[in-house]
Amino acid sequence: MKITEVRVFVTCPGRNYTLVKIMTDEPGLYGVGEGTLNGSETIVAEALRHIGQLLIGRDPQRIEDIWHLLYRQGYWRGGPIFMAAIAAVDMALWDIKGKQANLPVYQLLGGKAREGVLVYRHGHGRDPIECEDSVRKWLEQGYRVVRAQIGDYGGAGVVDSLPPVSPGTPSTKIFEPVNYLMGTPKLFEHLRSTLGREVELLHDAHEQLQPIEAAQLAKSLEPYRLFFLEDPLMPEHRESWPILRQASTTPLAIGEIITSRWDCLPLFMNKWIDFIRIKPLHVGGITEARKILTLAEPFNVRSAFHGAADIGPIAQSASVSLQTVIPNFGVQEWTSYSDAAHEVLPGACQVQDGYALPNERPGLGMDINEEAAARYPYQTAFMPLVRRRDGSMHVY
């Protein structure tokens, strides 16, 4: 079997997604993959067009060999752009292998270790009462774990916002850490007093704190028994993780922006974290994400795959497939998609009683409707900026 064509798409059925379709010389056999990188969707597409040239004429069944070919073909290795592009190819190759075997990808990876993948949803509001209402809404729908935030990232620390400097450019939040550090424990005090202690709640600090502030937050939230505190620090503050770890017994989850196994290793070996937030999409696909979770296993680190709204249905299906089979599974962040996204990308995973079910169709169980994708062209988008009240960029 040979790869005959690598088709790359950037489409915006509600959100921008970077997609790939790898065609083979076997009639009707192709694989689909996703390389979406929030704010850099077209850059990954260009990387995919570039490395796609290396794939023509190769055997798509040789997943491990193609992974290393793409990773090692350049002197410059890794980084978020290339790892997302490699991930898209890797997902498409697993999809082809599944279709060829007439089996879902989770079967190729070893079969079910669980019936479904526990997921968490996002609860938020302008104040603790609104947030409580939002958390209750998810619980009533059968979800078992809910993230709780005041507003968006930065919570009560977002004291103002500035409009874009020019059309199509990002807006700016004004963030003051002291307001955030004071407001967040008050939110959880309210939620625990109204929802009780058994409900599984978590909180996302979104890497906006200095190390000592992150330690203060983890300690102040300890009485409220979080499922975990998400991304309290940027992963590169390596020398500061012990300060945070020693401050409390609040479980720690980190790594949604990690793209390399080498950045995961010290977090595992030093036992600085409880959950790793990588996912196939940004570390080079299912092949590499599985290896990282195997490295995590002896250090009692469990998966908590990143799955926010900027991660599309193909990447979500890849995450669920892998977390169905690994022994050290923790939780999966969950998002649902617009009707337009379902039209462009039919076959998304379903949730039942708070658990995502792996796709039972061959491969990843997903498709790309090219005609529909063309009706939703790419929309320029950036991540929001964060500044302090004095006008300086927020440095953390």
Q: Which of 206, 237, 342, 394 is catalytic?
A: 206
130 versus 152: smaller Cβ distance to Mg ion: 152
Distances, alpha carbon 6 to alpha carbons 19, 60, 89, in Å = 10, 11, 9
By CB under 5 A, tell whether 200 contacts Mg ion.
no
Residue 24, SS3 per DSSP: strand
* Residues 84 and 281 sit within 8 Å (Cβ to Cβ): yes
| Least distance to Mg ion, CB of residue 303, Å | 14
| Least distance to Mg ion, CB of residue 204, Å | 4
By CB under 5 A, tell whether 204 contacts Mg ion.
yes
**Is 342 designated active site?**
no
67 versus 275: smaller Cβ distance to Mg ion: 275
* Residues 252 and 224 sit within 8 Å (Cβ to Cβ): no
Angle 37-78-81 from CA coordinates, rounded to 5°: 20
| Least distance to Mg ion, CB of residue 149, Å | 10
With CB under 5 A as the rule, give the number of residues binding Mg ion: 1
Q: Under rule CB under 5 A, which residues in 288-307 are in contact with Mg ion?
A: none
Name the one range near Mg ion by CB under 5 A: 83-91, 96-104, 201-209, 362-370: 201-209
Residue 121's φ and ψ, nearest 5 degrees, are: -110, 175
Provide the residue type at 146 as one letter.
Answer: V
| Least distance to Mg ion, CB of residue 310, Å | 10
* Residues 195 and 132 sit within 8 Å (Cβ to Cβ): yes
Angle 354-357-361 from CA coordinates, rounded to 5°: 160
* Residues 345 and 312 sit within 8 Å (Cβ to Cβ): yes
Task: Tell me the C-alpha distance between 224 and 234, whole Å.
Answer: 23
Name the one range near Mg ion by CB under 5 A: 93-101, 190-198, 199-207, 292-300: 199-207
8 versus 205: smaller Cβ distance to Mg ion: 205
By CB under 5 A, tell whether 207 contacts Mg ion.
no
| Least distance to Mg ion, CB of residue 88, Å | 22
* DSSP line for 329-363: EEEEE-----HHHHHHS-----EETTEEPPP-SSB
Q: Which of 106, 153, 337, 396 is catalytic?
A: 153
261 versus 306: smaller Cβ distance to Mg ion: 306
**Is 206 designated active site?**
yes
155 versus 363: smaller Cβ distance to Mg ion: 155
Residues that bind Mg ion in the complex, under the rule CB under 5 A: 204
Catalytic residue set: 153, 206
